[in-house]
Amino acid sequence: VGKSTKIFILKSRPSGDVSADNFELIEEDLPGVKEGEIKVKTRYLSVDPYMRNRMNNVESYVSPFELESAINGNGIAEVVETKSDQFSIRDLVVGNLPWQEYSIIDSKRVEKILTDEAISSTAYLSVLGLTGLTAFFGLLDIGEPKSGETVVISAAAGAVGSIVGQIARIKGCKVIGITGGEKKCDYLKNDLLFDEAIDYKKTPNIRKELRKICPQKVDIYFDNVGGDISDGVLYMLNNKARIVLCGQISLYNLNRLSMGPRLFPQFLIRRVKMQGFIVYDYANQFLEARDQIKQWLLDGAIKYNENIIEGFENLPTAFLGLFTGGNIGKQLVKV
């Protein structure tokens, strides 16, 4: 079993909207396992918006994917052969994995998951993984929420957004989520207990809607989306508001960014602080943060959802769905 493997490679770089044609499924033989390596069978792969940027040939905080090579991203795999004294057969590992059904990896590149009956292993790709940590550090370190403040979150029903809102609630804030569609708004209000949810597909004038539901204005804007949605929020900021610049997904498929009317005078008169961040900036605090998030989960203070699509061959579909809002919570693929 697993002498050869299915692999998704980057076939071409997208120009504008990413499409299924940019990926190709191939099959290749695997080499033998060398000293210090493990052979793993992939169980789950995470699809994430930042991967769209890696499909472009531009330098960033992570290097671009190479053409004709396997796509890679976070995943969970099971050890099926080992030449490392750190891992035994059937161990579950998490880390950066190629988009392959089987792969041979340097054992130092992954971390063992200590399975815990109360929490499923997939949580290490969602709420206890990088997206949960992004929510945690972005909101708490950059947003600095205080009880009674108002927090607005874009892409609020997604992996990061849904956790941000719940941490903001724990901190005693009023929480308003912006998302696409009635089902997602109901999820935010009824399941995650957000105070308000705005459906930007039905209510494109975000500024007007915020003026109605939030006369006290906005103290923290956690931005996952950018573009027109953010423009609407930025006109509604309070004095000393903080903008947590987490993502700009509405712009990732654009070849050229527009240079529209600038909102900086708003920032100036309102003494606004805006800061971008990358979750890895906080790598040396991941363990403590994960313990805190785990405690909130066990106490029932936060919930999480995973949108799991089955089948290795559905990886591109799952990825494309991020750009059309197919997911509530973290989008994963079960291999």
Ligand X SMILES: NC(=O)c1ccc[n+]([C@@H]2O[C@H](COP(=O)([O-])OP(=O)(O)OC[C@H]3O[C@@H](n4cnc5c(N)ncnc54)[C@H](OP(=O)(O)O)[C@@H]3O)[C@@H](O)[C@H]2O)c1
- Using CB under 6 A as the binding rule, whether residue 246 contacts ligand X is answered as yes
CB count in 10 Å sphere of residue 202 = 11
Helices vs. strands in the chain: H and E counts, helices first: 9, 15
- Using CB under 6 A as the binding rule, whether residue 293 contacts ligand X is answered as no
Indicate which single residue of 10, 76, 152, 159 sits in contact with ligand X (rule: CB under 6 A).
Answer: 159
- Residue span binding ligand X (CB under 6 A) among the ranges 82-90, 167-175, 259-267, 321-329: 321-329
Q: Which of residues 216-245 bind ligand X (CB under 6 A)?
A: 224-225, 229
Task: Work out whether the CA dihedral 132, 244, 220, 205 comes out positive or negative.
Answer: negative
**Residue 129 vs 145, nearer CB to ligand X:** 129
Indicate which single residue of 249, 289, 297, 335 sits in contact with ligand X (rule: CB under 6 A).
Answer: 249
Query: What's the length of the chain?
Result: 335
Q: Closest Cα partner for 221 from 212, 233, 232? A: 233
Residue 147 Cβ, how far from ligand X at the closest point, in Å? 25
Burial class (CB in 10 A: 0-12, 13-18, 19+), 99: buried
Indicate which single residue of 30, 278, 308, 309 sits in contact with ligand X (rule: CB under 6 A).
Answer: 278
Residue 14 Cβ, how far from ligand X at the closest point, in Å? 15
Amino acid identity of residue 71, one-letter, is: I
Q: Closest Cα partner for 29 from 101, 126, 137? A: 101
Q: Which two tokens stand for residue 29?
A: 């033989």
Interaction mask 37-76, ligand X, x per CB under 6 A: -----------xxx--------------------------
Residue 330 Cβ, how far from ligand X at the closest point, in Å? 6
Indicate which single residue of 119, 277, 294, 314 sits in contact with ligand X (rule: CB under 6 A).
Answer: 277
Q: Closest Cα partner for 81 from 33, 11, 134, 116? A: 33
- Using CB under 6 A as the binding rule, whether residue 279 contacts ligand X is answered as yes
Distance in angstroms (rounded) separating the CA atoms of residues 104 and 284:
27
Q: Is the Cβ–Cβ distance between 286 and 147 less than 8 Å?
A: no
- Using CB under 6 A as the binding rule, whether residue 2 contacts ligand X is answered as no
- Residue span binding ligand X (CB under 6 A) among the ranges 96-104, 187-195, 260-268, 277-285: 277-285
Indicate which single residue of 73, 95, 145, 158 sits in contact with ligand X (rule: CB under 6 A).
Answer: 158
**β pairing state of 306-310 and 174-179:** unpaired
- Using CB under 6 A as the binding rule, whether residue 129 contacts ligand X is answered as no
Burial class (CB in 10 A: 0-12, 13-18, 19+), 91: buried
Q: Which of residues 167-186 bind ligand X (CB under 6 A)?
A: 179-181, 184
* Binding interface with ligand X (CB under 6 A): 48-50, 131, 134, 155, 157-161, 179-181, 184, 224-225, 229, 246-250, 277-279, 322-323, 325, 327, 331
